[in-house]
Amino acid sequence: MICDAMDKSQKCLQKERSHHEEELRCARTVEISVDLVFAAKRLLCFLRTIDSITSLHSYTPTVLRAIQRYRNCWMPLAAEAGNSECKLGDKTGTALLPSVDVQWVWHCHCLSPMAYRDFCKSKYGRVIDCPLLPDTAIEDAARNRCRKIWNERYKDEPFDIVLNLWGSTEDTTSAFPAEEPPVPEISELVAVITRQSSFYYHISQPYMWEEAFLQASLERYKCFLHIVNKSRGSIMCVPTYDIDLIWHAHQVSPVAYARDTKALLGCVVDHDDSMERGPNTKLGDSFEDTTQLWESTFGHPYERAGSLYKGSKPVNLPAPHDGSDGQQILEWVPVTLPSEFRLPDVNLKFPCLVPRRIVQVGIFIKSETNVINETKQKIVLSVRLRALQAHKLLKLDAAVVPFASNPQWQKLWLLHCEMATRGFVLEVRCQLEGCLGTLNQSKVIGSKELTWEALQNSPMLSTNTLIELTEKRWVMERKKYPLQLRLGVSIAPPVQGPYLLKSVPDRVTDDAGAMLSNLILRMNKYEPQRGRWISRTVLNHMGKECFVIRIRVAKGIWRKNGDRPEGVDWNERVIDVCEGGWTYVAGSIGYAPHKIVGTATPCADDLEHYRLSWHLSTGDSLVISRPLEVETDWEHYLEFRLMGSYTNLAMG
């Protein structure tokens, strides 16, 4: 019976795999006439620039003026210049590119493909295409050509307007006064701009710039178009953010986008971003429908590491500028970053800091059908996730329950893991309930091991496999063959993670940085150690000493005849941060490092208002305070404020 069940299981599995492989082959034949990996890199550069200009994110005078400039200046100019004929590379040297504020409006308009096509055809008789330029040098040349033509044609409307981060333009007068109220077309554009302003928040992770991640995203985008074609409008297909990035990059080449989607679907696929994401929303329900269709079509999870919804964009803006010093810092003409741009490591000047490489991993486990237990014994079935190397104490457990009420049990883990862990082991375990169960021991009845290196080398940065349990007591409902758990794992390229530092109390030191001890006294021929400093050692994630923090608390010396160190005033309690670890002379006795990389000097205290402040060696001031009305658990309500010439940041 068991052999027959195994044969049926294998035949069913092979048939299902053949179906999934055929669907995947069909999806890979989808033809795209644009290099979308390159286009996505250019788009990331542009969106990063826009993300830094908050005045272009919502209903502001800057946005209204940009829309007027787009409609009344740029589009007529682009139509006359024949921008639709400009191809990648701009070999003819005729491409034009507008100023960044106008380009942002143009970008958002293209993300409503049908509305953009209708607008262009009604105004100019054809669709105005966007040039895809290969690098920033050619972009600058295209923008300079546009600036020259613009300034000759629109003498009352400057090409370059200085953008102010707080929501207005400086020192320029618009030739197009704002309409009150704005016409419906402008209101629709404002709504699209407001919605798209948060898109970069979801795709701003460093791994989004990696070639391997974008190549996998392109393959998934083709699969997405395949299920859109397969659904024929029966459901609204909702993309994950990696797919959405490629989709946006496709749409901002409107002529190619229309040609490609028409060839596949017979019509231009529209893009609706007007609905809110999240649980218990229409878009959330549609995402679940898309997930089910994707899994039934391709046989692997739709969810992918690094591409899921992160929630609403947090509002954490600096306070508005007061109009005094530093004004010129906030007024600038932005420049799009090159596609090879990478975030610099701000701590490169400290060699003692060892970087951490981390990966984001998505682990999806799902039972094929309902799980039943044919024995009379009460058994608990669970899965356990362990690190392959390092962090041996890490164990994530999840019970495979309930058996009867949930025909297809599933579990999703989204983890950030250090590369030092090398990978993970997933174990399926069973435990008997009763007298034997009180021993809290479980038996491994199936396992799977995967390494980060193998996942990085896998197609689409993901893998899909089965964990088969061969124990007789576990069978599937109605079908007498062993239970199988499907395991889908996806990974994002490794990136440098935040530094993980921990400070621990250490010995008291003197003014020279030597620990207080009889050994130091003997080495100094019993010369008394002057001054007292509290010390804390800063360790990195590997337990290595990186810094020593010293806080001055007393002055003077200690003698047997009665001399004692005296506490220093508040404004003398200097804090020094020394780079490096201790220099040990014997055992755990040693000297603090000599190189001071930072100093904090206390200011006059304001204890009546529960406020303390320090002057930092960087020129800034740090203020720590708590609300007056808070009497209990006040340490949970501390407010930190960093203030300087060009800085005014608050954190709670």
Q: What is the block-wise mean pLDDT of the chain (652 residues), using blocks of 10 residues? A: 54 77 92 93 91 86 91 92 51 80 94 93 91 83 92 90 55 55 78 91 90 94 94 89 96 94 90 72 86 91 88 58 36 51 66 87 78 57 86 82 57 90 88 58 83 91 81 50 76 89 93 92 88 94 92 86 81 93 92 93 77 89 83 81 63 52
Number of domains comprising the chain: 3
In a shared domain, residues 491 and 546: no
Same domain, 567 and 420: no
Res 259: pLDDT: 94
> What pLDDT is stored for residue 49 in this prediction?
87
Establish if 317 belongs to a structural domain: no
DSSP H or E stretch at residue 367: strand 356-367
Last residue of some domain: 453, 474, 495? 495
Could you give the C-alpha distances from 265 to 318, 373, 532, in angstroms and in order?
Answer: 46, 47, 78
pTM exceeds 0.85, yes or no: no
CA atoms of 495 and 417, how far apart (whole Å): 11
Angstrom CA distances, 428 to 236, 400, 438, 485, 487, stand at 36, 9, 19, 9, 11
Give the Å distances, CA to CA, from 293 to 286, 299, 506, 528: 11, 10, 59, 78
| β-strands 639-643, 648-651 pairing | antiparallel
Buried b (16+ CB within 10 A) or exposed e, 170-202: eeeebebeeeeebeeebeebbebbebbbebbbb
Domain coverage including residue 275: 31-298
Distance CA 622, CA 602 (A): 9
Residue 8 maps to a domain: no
In angstroms, rounded to a whole number, what is the distance separating the alpha carbons of residues 131 and 65?
23
Are 511 and 575 in the same domain? yes
In a domain, 412, yes or no: yes
User: What single letter denotes the amino acid at residue 350?
Assistant: F
Are 190 and 118 contained in the same domain? yes
How far is the C-alpha of 141 from the C-alpha of 96, rounded, in Å? 8
Enter the DSSP assignment of 60: S
The answer to whether 490 touches 456, Cβ cutoff 8 Å, is no
pLDDT of residue 177: 57
Paired with 465 in beta bridges are 487
* Same domain? 35 vs 156: yes
Residue by residue, DSSP assigns 80-123 as: HHTGGG--TT-TTS------HHHHHHHHHHHTSHHHHHHHHHHH
* 535 and 574 inside one domain: yes
> Please, are residues 242 and 217 in contact by the beta-carbon 8 Å criterion?
yes
> Whole-angstrom Cα distance, residue 248 to residue 214?
13
- Give dist(CA 296, CA 288) in Å, integer: 12
Q: Is residue 24 part of a domain?
A: no
3-state secondary structure 510-531: CCCCEECCHHHHHHCCCCCCCC
The pLDDT value recorded for residue 330 is: 34
CB 248, CB 111: distance < 8 Å: yes
Residue 220 has phi, psi (to 5 degrees) of -70, -35
Which of 495, 515, 534 lies at the terminal end of a domain, its last residue?
495
- Residue 593 to residue 578: CA distance in whole angstroms: 6
User: ∠ CA 412-417-423 to the nearest 5 degrees?
Assistant: 85
Q: Are 492 and 359 in contact (CB under 8 A)?
A: yes
Listed in order, strand segments (DSSP E) in 515-602 are 532-539, 545-555, 566-567, 575-579, 583-586, 589-591, 596-602
**DSSP-derived pairing of the beta strands 162-164 and 462-468:** unpaired
Pairing of strands 484-491, 356-367: antiparallel
187/98 same-domain check: yes
The verdict on residue 554 lying in a domain is yes
Which letter, b or e, does each residue of 154-163 get, where b requires 16 or more Cβ atoms within 10 Å of its Cβ?
A: beebbbebeb
In a 3-state reduction of DSSP, which class is residue 641?
strand
β-pair type (379-387, 423-432): antiparallel
Look at residue 447 and tell me if it is in a domain. yes
- 459 and 513 in a single domain? The answer is no
Residue at a domain's end among 480, 495, 510: 495
Counting other chains too, the contacts that 529-532 makes at CB distance below 8 Å and 24 or more residues apart are: 529/557, 529/558, 530/555, 530/556, 530/557, 531/555, 531/556, 531/565, 532/508, 532/565
Which token pair is 565? 């160190």
CATH number at residue 440: 2.60.40.150
- Does residue 122 sit in the same domain as residue 83? yes
- Tell me, yes or no, whether 336 lies in a domain: no
Q: What sections of 161-210 are H helices per DSSP?
A: 184-196, 199-202
Are 387 and 529 found together in one domain?
Answer: no
Structure tokens at 650: 């608050």
> Do 510 and 428 have their domain in common?
no
| Cα dihedral sign, 199-205-210-214 | negative
Sheet holding 331-332, edge to edge: 168-170, 162-164, 331-332
451 bridge partner residues: 423
d(C-alpha 181, C-alpha 407), whole Å: 55
Q: What Cα–Cα distance (Å) separates residue 276 from each residue in 196, 281, 284?
A: 12, 7, 8
Indicate whether 337 belongs to any domain. Answer: no
pLDDT for 316: 53
Residue pair 639/652 in contact by the 8 Å Cβ criterion: yes
Cβ neighbors of 204 (< 8 A, separation 6 or more) are 48, 51
Phi-psi region of 329 (alpha: psi -120 to 50; beta: other; left: phi over 0): alpha
3-state helix, strand, coil in the chain (%, to 5): 35, 25, 40
- 435 and 469 part of one domain: yes
Among the listed residues 273, 341, 307, 110, the one whose alpha carbon sits nearest the alpha carbon of residue 203: 307
Helix segments in 33-183, DSSP class H: 36-51, 61-69, 75-81, 100-110, 113-124, 136-153
